[in-house]
Structure 1
Amino acid sequence: MHPTTAASEAGAATRRYLAAMRNRGPLSIDWGGAPTRHKRYPGAVRTRLPWESGDGSALGRIGELLRDLLGMTRLVWCHQLDDGGEPAGRPPMLLTGRPAPSGGGLYAIEAYVAAGEPRPPGLPAALYHYDPVHHVLERVRGGDHTGALAGLLADGPAADVAIVLSAVFWRSMFKYGDFGYRLICQETGVLVAQALAAGGRLGLPCRAWLRFPDGEVDRLLGLDGAREAALAVLTLTLPPGGAGRPDATPSARELIERPVAGESTPLPKPMPDGLAAALHRACSAASPTGSPEPAEALRPRPPARAGRAFPAPEPATGIRAGTGASRRTSPLAGYRPVPLRGAALGAVLAAAGEGYPADLPGAETGPAATALCLLALRVQGLPRGAYWYDPARRTLHELAGAERVDEVATGRLLANTRVALRGAAAALVPAGDPVAGARLFGDRWYRMQQMEAGLVVQRATLAATALGLAARIHSDGANETTDEVLGLAGTPLRSLSFLLLGTPPTGGPLVARPMPAVVHEEVMPRSDESLTRTDHL
C-alpha cells in the first residue's frame, strides 16, 4: 500500500492516469483470460428472494430492487453484427440481459446486503451476497452488519438495510486494461441511479454514500481490496411497521472475527499493477470526509464562449423514470433518423439535472461534480448545435452552431458510434474538471465524479426509455474532438461520457423478452442442510 500523498500532490495520481488514457492504444484482448461474470458462495446458506413485490412485504421489495439492479431479467435473441452495423455472418445468440448497462456487457459490480430480523422480518440478521443468476441471497457471515456499516459512514445514518456495491476489477480490466477502472466507476454510478429509481417506485427511500474508509468496509465484507473492493454504499429505509432495529448490534471488530463463507473458485486475478491500480490506492487513501466548502465552488461553470440562451423545452408530463428499467435496451444498429419532440428532450434533461440524495456536497440540488452538455442533432424547435444545460434556470446556452457539431464524427470513434450518430436525435455529454475537488477530497474526487457521470446518463436513459426512446453509452465519444466542439479545450473541463439517444429501429438485430416472473425451483444443485425456510415458499 502506498502512503497517502501530500496535500501538494493532491490529484497527482489522477493526472498521471488521465494523461495515459488520452494516449492509450488499441485493445489487445485475451478472451481466454476472461473471468466469470458473476460470483457465488457455493456452500453458503441461501434465501430465495421473491421476484416481485406484489405482496408488499419488505423482503419482496428488497428482492425486486436487487432484481432491478443486477438480476437476470431478460432473454435476448441477438443476430451478430460487425462494428459497422452489418451482419457478421455468424449464428445468432441467445443471451441473458440485465436491467442496467455495463461497459462491454461484463458486469463488474457485485452487491452485498446487510439486513435481517426484525427489519425485514423473516430474514435472519446477516451479511448476504446477491446471486443474480439464481435470485437468492447467500449468507456470507452471520450477525447484524447494518449498524456496523452505518457506523463507517459520515454521521452514522440510521438504516434498515445497507447495500454495498463492490467491483471485481479483473472482470472489466482483462479486456479494457487501465481504462476499465473508469468504466467500473461509471457503472457504479449507473447502478446508484438505478437503485434510486427502483427504490422510489417500491417505497424504499434510498441514499448513496461515496465517502467512507475503504479498507474498513472491505474488511467487514471479507474483501481483499485487490481483487474486489467496495465503491459505494446504499442505505434503505423500510416502510413503517413491525419491530424496530435492536439498540445494540455487534461492532465491526466483533463481526470481522467471525468466519465467512467460501467464495467460488477460481478467484479472479487482482487488479494489475499500473496507473489504474495506483489511482485506486490513492482514492482509497484519500480522506473520506473532505473539507467544508460551498458546493457551488466545485460545480462546473460554462466556458467563456457560451453564447445566446434558449429556454429548455417544457418536459413531457407523467413520466416515471423508474418504469423504464424493464424496457431499456442498448441499440446495436443505431437509430431511425426521426426528430425528437421538444417535450421528450425536456423530460430527459430534467431527469438528468435533478438533485439526488448522497453525501457528495451539493448533490441534493443537482449534479455537484458534473455539468450537462447537449448535442442537438435533430430536435423539434431547437436549432442544431451544441449547448450547455443550466438545470437551475432551465436554460440552454449555445456553445457551437450546426457547422461545428458535424465535427464530432471526425474524432477517434469506433465504427458502431459513427453508425449510431447518423440517426441519433441527440447526445448528452456530462463534463467536469477531473481534479477540481482534489484539494478537498484527494484523488477520490476522480472516482466520485465518474460515478456521478454514470448516474446522470442513467437517469437520462431511464427517462428516455419511459418515453419509448432508446439510448446507449458510447464512451469513445468523450474525446478531444468532442471537447473542441463543446468549447472545453483549453479549459480544465473534459467530457466524461457520451450518451446517444433517439428513436429505436422498428426491426433490428435484437429481440428481448422479460424473464418469467414465477420460478418455483432453483436450477442448481443443493443440499437439504443449505436451505432456509424461505426456500420452501
Structure 2
Amino acid sequence: MHPLDAFLLSEGDDVVWEAFHENSKTSRVEPHLYFERHPSDQTIVTMMRGLREVKPYADRAKVALPEELGSMRVSLEDALTGRESAREFGPGPVSLGDVGTILRCAQGVTRDNVDTSFPRPFRSVPSGGALYPLEVYVWARSVTDLPTGLYHYDPHDHDLDVLGDVDIDDAFVQQDLVESAAAVVLVSAVFFRSVFKYGERGYRFVLLEAGHLVQNALLAARGRELAAVPIGGYFDREVDRALGFDGLHESVVYAMLVGRPVSA
C-alpha cells in the first residue's frame, strides 16, 4: 500500500470540509435553501432593502477618520512583490491616518449609486450580489490619537464606533505577535446577508469576500510602509464572546495584525 493511501478518506467518512464543499455547489435541480426556487430580482432587492447594510451603533460615540485617502509611499507593483507576512513588529504606534487608509481600502464606499438602478452603494471589495455580509472591527492597541480599545468601522460614514475596552490577547494562538502589534483588524460575517440569496453557496462567498477584504488591507498597509500579517489562529468562541457575537448568526472569520516594521 502506498504510504499516502492511509490518509485518503473513504466514502462515508464524516469530514466537514467535504460536506461543506458538496453542499455549497450550485445545482440545477436542488431546491433553494429558503425559497422554493431561486428568488426573482424583485424579491432579492426587497430583501436587501429590509436588511441592514452595516451594523448600527447609534448609541455609541464616533471617531471621525481622515476624509482624504492617505498617500501611498509604495507603488502597487512594489506592494505586491514586496508584501510579506510579518513575524514581528517594531516599537511605536501607527497613525489614525494609517488606520483610516487601511479601512477605506479594505471595504470603504467607492460609489454611492444614487440615481442608478443599483440598490446599494459599491465598496472597494468585490461582494457576491453586492450584499456585503462582512463587518470590520479594529482593536486599537497603539494608534496615535485613538485610545486603546475596540472600534467598529462604518464604511458609509467612514468613522469608527467606540465600543469600549477589550482584552483578547489570550484568544490568539500567537499571543506574543499580537501583543507587539499596533492594531488588530477583525472581520466578522453576518451570514444571512449572503445566504438568503445564495443558500449554502452564500457561505462560500462570505469566506471568499473575507479573503478579498484582508488582501486589500494587506496591500494598503504595505503601501503605507507598515508591517502586517493575516491571522487565522484564534479561538473562535472566545473572540466572538468578547465582541458580543453568538458565533452562529455572526462570527469572526478572519483577522489581520498591523504595526511598525522592524528596523533593518
Which of 315, 326, 343 is 2:81 aligned to? 326
Higher relative contact order (CA 8 A, sep 6+): 2
Q: Does 1:465 align with 2:222?
A: yes
Match of 2:244 in 1: 487
- Counterpart Cα distance in 2 of 1:335 and 1:383: 20
Residue 348 (1) aligns with residue 116 (2): no
Percent identity of equivalent pairs: 24
1:357–1:376 CA distance, 2 compared to 1 (3 A) = closer
Deviations 1:119-155 (A, max 9, x none): xxxxxxxxxxxxxxxxxxxxxxxxxxxxxxxxxxxxx
Cα shift readout 1:377-433 (whole Å, capped 9, x = no counterpart)? 1100111111110111111001222xx2x2x1122x32xx21111110111111112
Q: Is the 8 A contact 2:140 2:183 kept in 1?
A: yes
CA contact (8 A) 2:94 2:142 kept: yes
Residues in 1 aligned to 2:145 and 2:10: alpha-carbon distance in whole angstroms: 51
Alignment match of 1:504 (pick from 229, 250, 261)? 261
Q: 1:390 aligns with which of 151, 154, 172?
A: 154
Question: Could you give the per-residue CA deviations for residues 348-398 of structure 1, whole angstroms, max 9, x where no partner exists?
Answer: 0110013248572226xxxx1211111111100111111110111111001
Partner amino acid for 1:353? Q
Classify the secondary structure of the residue corresponding to 2:105.
helix
* Correspondence for 1:475 among 210, 232, 249: 232
Q: CA RMSD in A?
A: 3.1
Residue number among 36, 59, 62 corresponding to 1:309 in the alignment: 62
Per the alignment, residue 276 of structure 1 pairs with 17
Q: Which amino acid in structure 2 is aligned with residue 385 of structure 1?
A: G
3-state SS of 2:128 partner: coil
| CA displacement 1:41-75 (0-9 Å, x = unmatched) | xxxxxxxxxxxxxxxxxxxxxxxxxxxxxxxxxxx
| 1:317 to partner: Cα distance | 2.2
Q: What is the aligned partner in structure 2 of residue 381 from structure 1?
A: 145
Give the alignment partner of residue 182 of structure 2, picking from 405, 420, 425: 425
| Structure whose CA Rg is larger | 1
Normalised by the size of structure 1, how large is the TM-score? Answer: 0.39
Contact 1:291–1:441 (CA under 8 A) maintained in structure 2:
no
Q: Distance in 1 between matches of 2:89 and 2:214?
A: 18
| 1:371–1:389 CA contact under 8 A, matched in 2 | yes
SS at match of 2:151: strand
- SS in structure 2 at match of 1:337: coil
1:447 aligns with one of 164, 181, 204: 204
- Deviation for aligned residue 1:346: 1.3
The 5 Å alignment of 1:505-520 reads 505-506=262-263
Question: Which residue does 1:338 correspond to in 2?
Answer: 92
Structure 1, residues 431-462: CA drift from partner, whole Å, max 9, x if none? 11234432321100110001111111110000
Residues of 1 paired with 2:255 and 2:134: CA distance?
A: 13
Which blocks of at least 5 consecutive residues in structure 1 are unaligned? Answer: 1-31, 35-173, 175-267, 508-537
CA contact (8 A) 1:306 1:397 kept: no
Q: Provide Cα deviations, 1:318-344, integer angstroms capped at 9, x if missing partner.
A: 467733111111122x21231001211
Mapped pair 1:362 → 2:130: yes
Q: CA distance change for structure 1 residues 499 and 270 in 2, over 3 Å: closer, same or farther? A: farther
Equivalent residue letter for 1:360:
G
Partner secondary structure for residue 449 of structure 1: helix
1:240-255 to 2 correspondences below 5 Å:
none
Post-superposition Cα deviations, 1:188-213, rounded to whole Å, max 9, x if no partner, equal xxxxxxxxxxxxxxxxxxxxxxxxxx
3-state SS of 2:203 partner? helix
Q: Which runs of 5+ in 2 are unaligned?
A: 109-122
1:430 and 1:498 in contact (8 A); partners too: yes
Query: Secondary structure of the residue that 1:429 maps to in structure 2?
Result: strand
Equivalences, count: 232
C-alpha displacement of 1:481: 2.0
TM-score if structure 2 supplies the norm length?
A: 0.76
Q: Distance in 2 between matches of 1:454 and 1:504?
A: 23
The C-alpha deviation readout for 1:201-253, integer Å capped at 9, x for no partner, is xxxxxxxxxxxxxxxxxxxxxxxxxxxxxxxxxxxxxxxxxxxxxxxxxxxxx
1:470 to partner: Cα distance: 1.5
Equivalence for 2:194: 437
Measure the CA separation in 2 of the matches of 1:495 and 1:372: 9
SS in 2 for 1:498: strand
**For residue 311 of structure 1, what is the amino acid of its counterpart?**
A
TM-superposed CA distance for 1:467, in Å, is 1.2
